[in-house]
């Protein structure tokens, strides 16, 4: 069964790009446009990896990560943040919230795939 990934970003073009890239590599992808939507999805189905942007309306990425870690099914799930180069403190905040790691924007599809394949074996 294909590994499933939850991709969260309020930018539709980013979501599309991420989704398209990952699906092309055989992953099953679910999309959400903010933290609230993502959390609801995560509560109803298990995914193998969550990739989330940080700046989103309704619930930002860091809060999402915090909430996900509190769910029993997500205590060890890899959770990755999409962050910009200059966001030093964001990385720290993310880690404090329980993030596994980050992918720096802008990134190209190959980098995304490489990182994802490292994390989902």
Identify the burial level of 104 via C-beta atoms within 10 angstroms of its C-beta, where 0-12 means exposed, 13-18 middle and 19 or more buried: middle
- 1 binds another protein, rule: CB under 8 A: no
Using CB under 8 A, pick the residue from 4, 17, 28, 63 that binds another protein. Answer: 17
Q: Which of 5, 42, 78, 116 binds another protein (CB under 8 A)?
A: 78
Strand arrangement, sheet containing 101-105: 28-32, 4-8, 49-53, 79-84, 101-105
DSSP 3-state of 30: strand
Q: Does 24 bind another protein (CB under 8 A)?
A: yes
91 binds another protein (CB under 8 A): yes
List the x/- string, 92-111, binding to another protein by CB under 8 A.
---x--xxxxxxxxxxxxxx
Cα–Cα distance for residue pair 6/42, rounded to 1 Å: 8
Is residue 24 within 8 A of residue 14, CB to CB? The reply is no
Least distance CB 89 / another protein (angstroms): 8
Q: What is the DSSP letter of 72?
A: G
List contacts with another protein (CB under 8 A). Answer: 10-14, 16-17, 20-21, 24-25, 53, 55-57, 69, 75-79, 82, 84-86, 88, 91, 95, 98-111, 113, 118-119, 121
């Amino acid at each position: 069964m294909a590994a499933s990934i939850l991709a969260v970003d309020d930018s539709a073009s980013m979501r599309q790009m991420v989704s398209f890239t990952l699906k092309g590599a055989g992953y099953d992808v679910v999309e959400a446009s903010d933290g609230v939507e993502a959390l609801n999805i995560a509560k109803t189905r298990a995914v193998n990896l969550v990739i989330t942007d940080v700046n989103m309306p309704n619930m930002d990425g860091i809060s999402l990560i915090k909430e996900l870690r509190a769910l029993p099914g997500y205590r060890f799930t890899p959770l990755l943040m999409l962050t910009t180069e200059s966001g030093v403190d964001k990385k720290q905040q993310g880690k404090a919230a329980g993030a596994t790691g980050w992918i720096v924007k802008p990134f190209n599809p190959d980098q995304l795939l490489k990182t994802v394949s490292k994390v989902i074996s």
